[in-house]
A and B are shown apart, each in its own frame.
Chain A
């Protein structure tokens, strides 16, 4: 930027504040903004900009007032008919592409996690030519690999009354009635198929001694429907999808582009026709044409800087698509996972999750007496020294029906509530205990009895109990010990909530198509199935459902009209323009010759997001956050330094592109949170709560999906509302008591 450290013009200030130039002139004339005239032109000093950003007035007239709900411009395409027949009827009636024609159709898939890899494999198997992209060095490294706990399916192998309907109902309720009935039922319906498919592929799920598949329980449900592979379920499922992908690469049906970043979407005649990518090894900007583009690039939790996402997880593909016209739905719906390893210091680069499955056996508590908590923080006493009657098992106390297995949003807020009240336990006061002592005793006694040993021998019981805990959660305990340097078999784990998953994402219809014809979004990248809160073990389910069983068929409904198009030509003005804008961005971001690193700004953004748009939100803080993010975005372009060159491996350049998108998304996130004047799921607005501190939904006014439309750089985003209709479930206040 040429204005670094200098004066801003009216246009620059208007851009930065996201208001019209007219507004700025009005405030200059009224004296609210102080300007100086240089060569007859108004200029505003940087100090004045800071003053404006700290003031209230300018920002007030920027808050979007969407007014009454208008007709939603895009049909959701959820088929009519009975809930349980919707998907089969739809599959039976949508358009198909013949095998001979599939050979002439190209599909681009961006991202190779569970959704992207499984979609690529199935599309190729059906006969389409697939080009798959990932930024990692191999498709096997996508962050789905880090999912620990498990995958839900309504198999009812345990005979505990599970069914498609029950899985559907739990998921709708868990999402606090902010997801689409038809999509969620379909998810439940295909869930059982996923398990069959994965077993046939050789995915080594946990089994019992009879050789049949084992299950465990997850939060927010009263049945055992979660399939797992120790604490590495995501890894095993991803490697299964990766193997299916490899099979198609070997057949020549998938061309794989690793270490490539999608830089933009190309639209021609209103349809998605390809992407611009950057080869991360040599910096080459490439054009790829296709008849359809599938975004499967995951969620945007890294807008918080610290999250359980991988370092490279980013919003770039989603954001580029959004800026090209795709609606972004419910950006403020973020999942804060209750059981993560607490932050240890300013150097922290990421957070590590401890699987929700641990809540099957671990009991969560803090000291009942504040003085005890203080002594623990000062390391004067150990947690094991606190007597049973002086411990507050607050989840069991507040939610006797679900206890430690309440949904994630509820568990996270309850932890924050205790810590804010002064009962937190580690040196920062931002941690609670997850204690396995009772489970070790219980399992130990069972084992002693079943193996004919003395159950009154406490040493023996403890030893046997620890062995069982180790078999169940060994790798998680080991990981904890490595990071924290404490032995969780002997002393309770310290945990605290952290950003984990984003329910919001690109808006899609029932066919998983975005508002841009030919552009699809699947897995965490879309918004559709989890509402305002995702239940445990359902992200893996959704990724694979979308990729294996939904998108490959629904894409045909669109492509059936494209069989005569022929190969997509990338030598057109639309590709020229997209490529030029990518190159211009790179040039701009590399223009500063010194300054702060990308991480410096990313950390600042993360701090704003966590403090003002995190676990609980209020209008005042959200307004401040919007202002701070705008200022930070301005500072970023003026001050970021990207060393090295663009035609080489350059991680700083890659990060700069991603953070620039996060800086835009962050603002939309805060605007969305501000507009949603209710509490639901992971979105907790302090103004809207029950006397007991539970989330207070407003079904009357907010039973809709917030679909944000990008209106161009200088304009405010527009809120469109997709009304949610519930024909099969009754909207109830969500209680886990």
Chain B
């Protein structure tokens, strides 16, 4: 396959960036999208140029480090797929592919396609935990049975990989799917109920402080989430937030 790539290049957060054209050849359908970028980069290095910077690590769809907006779509054209799991058989020879970073006020560009998503960490630090010590001196794990449907729901919410595609997909750059997933995981479990009120208030406060926008229910986040995190988590976030605000 031969492809024309139009890639966002930006030296660092202070400099202005622009789209730059690159041609790649000998791309095989079994390659992953990131392996295609590896080939581009090897070529650039051999001709003395700086390679295109992009985030990636596990390359098996679980660490949440890879990003990229591919042809306008966070993580590319396939549903339920991270960029690292996207394969070139999805494209055909002669295609033009636009590759941009995840954009959002709260996700400043570090270099080229690499953005700073530490805002997500700070939201989690503001309340995304159960305040128990890690001494191991707790009750037996089977002391309190948890109904399977609740456990399954909590698991589904906890499957979020924190990649930020929801923010990149949203026209408001809202992080409510991300925050909603964490709040929902704990709200489904007895362990999370004790601090439910403080948790949701603090996390929402931090979310606003970071500059994420509000939700206007377009559902773009759910559509682009590689882990299929449901929009219901936003509903649940709103419910938990209201509950916390109203019930003193």
Provide the A617-651 mask, 1 if CB < 8 A to any CB of B, else 0. Answer: 00000000000000000000000010110001101
Residues of A contacting B41 with CB < 8 Å?
Answer: 597
| Min distance, Cβ B58 to any Cβ of chain A, angstroms | 4
Q: Assess whether B242 is interfacial by the CB under 8 Å rule.
A: no
Q: In the complex the two chains form, is B142's CB within 8 Å of A250's CB?
A: no
Contact B129 A247 (CB under 8 A): yes
Q: Most B CB atoms within 10 A — which of A204, A236, A258?
A: A204
Q: Is A195 an interface residue (CB 8 A)?
A: yes
Asked if residues B146 and A652 are in contact (CB atoms below 8 Å), the reply is no
Residues B154 and A310 in contact, CB atoms below 8 Å apart: no
Given contacts A201-B129, A250-B125, contact A138 B62 (CB under 8 A): no
Whether A235 lies near B62 (C-beta < 8 A) is yes
Contact A549 B111 (CB under 8 A): no
Residue A230 is within 8 A (CB to CB) of chain B in the complex:
yes
Q: Are A345 and B28 in contact (CB under 8 A)?
A: yes
Contact with B along A423-434 (1 / 0, CB 8 A): 000000000000
Which residues 101-152 of A sit at the B interface, judged by CB distance below 8 A?
118, 121-122, 125, 136-141, 143, 145-146
Are A236 and B158 in contact, CB atoms less than 8 angstroms apart?
A: yes
Q: Check B128 against A485 for contact (C-beta < 8 Å).
A: no
Determine whether the beta carbon of A195 is less than 8 Å from that of B111.
no
Give which listed residue, B50, B118, B130, contacts A138 with CB less than 8 A: B118
Assess whether B148 is in contact with A140, with CB atoms less than 8 Å apart.
no
Task: Judge if B185 is at the interface, Cβ distance under 8 Å.
Answer: yes
Kindly report which residue of chain A lies nearest to residue B37, judged by CB atoms: A349
Q: Residues of A contacting B134 with CB < 8 Å?
A: 118, 121-122, 125, 197, 201, 244, 548
CB–CB B30/A345 < 8 A: yes
> In the bound complex, how far is the Cα of B82 from the Cα of A145, in angstroms?
15
Contact at B130–A141, with CB atoms within 8 Å?
no
Q: Quick check: A197 and B136 within 8 Å, CB to CB?
A: yes
Does B230 interact with chain A (Cβ within 8 Å)?
A: no
- What 0/1 pattern do residues 20 to 56 of B give for CB contact below 8 A with A? 0000000010111011001101101110111101011
Stretch at the interface among A206-214, A392-400, A518-526: A206-214
Contact A246 B125 (CB under 8 A): yes
Question: Quick check: is B132 within 8 A (CB to CB) of the other chain?
Answer: yes
Contacts of A311 in B (CB 8 A): 56-59
Q: A347-B35, A485-B87, A548-B136 are in contact. Are A643 and B49 (CB under 8 A)?
A: yes
Residues of A within 8 A of B118 (CB): 137-138, 258
Residues of A within 8 A of B51 (CB): 643, 651-652
Residue-wise interface mask of A (581-612) relative to B, using a CB-CB cutoff of 8 A (1 in contact, 0 not): 00000000000011011011000000000000
Q: Is the CB of A229 within 8 A of B162?
A: no
> What are the interface flags for B124-146 relative to A under an 8 Å C-beta threshold, 1 for contact and 0 otherwise?
11111111111110111110011
A242-B58 contact in complex given A197-B136, A202-B185, C-beta closer than 8 Å:
no
Closest CB of chain A to B205's CB: distance in Å? 13
Q: Kindly list chain A residues whose C-beta atoms are within 8 Å of the C-beta of B192.
A: 202
Chain A stretch 536-561: residues in CB contact (< 8 A) with chain B: 548-549
**Interface membership of A731, Cβ < 8 A:** no
The yes or no answer to A352 lying at the interface (CB within 8 A) is yes
A-B contact pairs, 18 of them (CB 8 A): A121-B134, A136-B65, A137-B118, A138-B117, A141-B58, A202-B185, A202-B191, A213-B141, A310-B57, A312-B57, A347-B38, A483-B87, A596-B46, A641-B45, A643-B45, A644-B50, A648-B12, A649-B114
Asked if A348 is at the interface (CB within 8 A of a chain B CB), the reply is yes
Give CA–CA (A232, B124) in the complex, Å.
20
Contact of B85 among A344, A479, A643 (CB under 8 A): A479
> Cβ of B55: which chain A residues have Cβ within 8 Å of it?
137
Q: Taking the complex as formed, is A64 at the interface, i.e. its CB lies under 8 A from any CB of chain B?
A: no
Residues of B within 8 A of A347 (CB): 28, 30-31, 35, 38-39
Q: A311-B56, A479-B85 are in contact. Are A211 and B145 (CB under 8 A)?
A: yes
Do A138 and B121 form a contact, CB below 8 Å, given A232-B159, A644-B50? Answer: yes
**Given A199-B191, A482-B81, A125–B133 Cβ distance below 8 Å?**
yes
Tell me whether A204 and B155 are in contact in the complex, defined as CB-CB below 8 angstroms, given that A211-B146, A643-B48 are known contacts. Answer: yes
Chain B positions within 8 Å of A122 at CB level: 134-135
Q: In the complex, which residues 373-407 of chain A have their Cβ closer than 8 Å to any Cβ of chain B?
A: none
Of the candidates B44, B128, B146, the one whose C-beta lies within 8 Å of that of A246 is B128
How far, in whole Å, are A593 and B151 apart by their CA atoms in the complex? 57
Starting from the known contacts A141-B58, A482-B81, 4 additional A-B residue pairs (CB-CB under 8 Å) come to: A145-B63, A211-B145, A349-B32, A349-B35
Are B28 and A479 in contact, CB atoms less than 8 angstroms apart? no
Check A350 for interface membership: any CB of B closer than 8 A: yes
Report the count of interface residues on B (CB-CB < 8 A): 78
Point out the residue from A196, A209, A549, A648 that lies within 8 Å of B140, measured CB to CB: A196
Asked if residues A310 and B63 are in contact (CB atoms below 8 Å), the reply is yes
Identify which of A137, A600, A644 contacts B116 (C-beta below 8 A).
A137
A200 in the interface (beta carbon within 8 A): yes
Residue B186 at the chain A interface, CB threshold 8 Å: yes
B189 in the interface (beta carbon within 8 A): yes
Quick one: which of B53-81 are within 8 Å of A by CB? Answer: 53, 55-65, 80-81
Q: Is the CB of B62 within 8 A of A146?
A: yes
Q: Mark B83-94, 1 if CB is under 8 A from A, else 0.
A: 001010100000
* With known contacts A202-B130, A281-B110, A249–B64 Cβ distance under 8 A: no
B126 with A250: CB separation less than 8 A: yes
Is A689 positioned at the interface, with any CB of B under 8 Å from its CB? no
Q: Chain A contacts of B63 at CB under 8 A?
A: 136, 141, 143, 145-146, 310
A273 in the interface (beta carbon within 8 A)? no
Whole-angstrom CA separation of A171 from B140 in the bound complex:
24
Asked whether B98 is an interface residue with its Cβ less than 8 Å from the other chain, the reply is no
Nearest chain A CB to B185's CB is how many angstroms away?
A: 7
Kindly list chain B residues whose C-beta atoms are within 8 Å of the C-beta of A209: 148
Q: Answer yes or no: A265 CB below 8 A from chain B CBs.
A: no
In the bound complex, how far is the Cα of B185 from the Cα of A479, in angstroms?
24
CA of A143 to CA of B63 in the docked complex: distance in angstroms?
7
B110 cross-chain contacts in A, Cβ below 8 A: 281, 649
Q: In the complex, are the beta carbons of B58 and A229 less than 8 A apart?
A: no
**A310 contacts B58, C-beta separation under 8 Å:** yes
Q: How far is the CB of B22 from chain A (nearest CB, A)?
A: 15
Asked if A549 meets B136 with Cβ closer than 8 Å, knowing A250-B126, A597-B45, the reply is yes
B141 cross-chain contacts in A, Cβ below 8 A: 155, 195-196, 198-200, 205, 213
Q: In the bound complex, how far is the Cα of B146 from the Cα of A405, in angstroms?
A: 30
B 148-188 binary contact with A (CB < 8 Å = 1; else 0):
10010011001101100000000000000000000001100
Interchain CB contact under 8 A, A157 and B151: no
Residues of B within 8 A of A236 (CB): 155, 158
Question: Cα distance A412–B44 when bound, in Å?
Answer: 38
Set of chain A residues within 8 Å of B133, measured between Cβ atoms: 125
A415 within 8 A of B: no
CB proximity of B214 to chain A, nearest CB, Å: 24
Cβ-defined partner of A204 (8 Å) among B62, B81, B127, B154: B154
- Flag if B120 contacts A138 (CB, 8 Å): yes
Residues of A near B130 (CB, < 8 A) are 200-202, 243
Rounded to whole angstroms, the CA-CA distance of A311 and B145 in the bound complex is 39
B59 touches A349 (CB 8 A): yes
**Cβ-based interface call for A193 (8 A):** yes
Q: Does any Cβ of B come within 8 Å of A461's Cβ?
A: no
Are A200 and B138 also in contact (CB < 8 A) when A138-B121, A485-B89 are?
yes
Min CB distance A240 to B, Å, is 9
If the complex has contacts A347-B31, A485-B87, A643-B51, are A247 and B131 also in contact, measured as CB distance less than 8 A? Answer: yes
CB-nearest residue of chain A to B112: A649
The answer to the question of A7 belonging to the interface, with a C-beta cut-off of 8 Å to chain B, is no
Residues of B close to A184: CB separation below 8 A: none
**Do residues B12 and A649 form an inter-chain contact, with CB atoms below 8 A?**
yes
Q: Taking CB as reference atom, which chain A residue is nearest B146? A: A211
| Residue A695 CB within 8 A of the other chain | no
Residues of B within 8 A of A641 (CB): 45-46, 48
Contact call B142/A157, Cβ cutoff below 8 A? yes
Q: Is A239 an interface residue (CB 8 A)?
A: yes
A 281-293 to B, binary, CB cutoff 8 A, 1 in contact else 0 = 1000000000000
Interface residue? A194 (CB, 8 A) = yes
Chain B residues lying within 8 Å of A196, measured Cβ to Cβ, are 136, 138-141
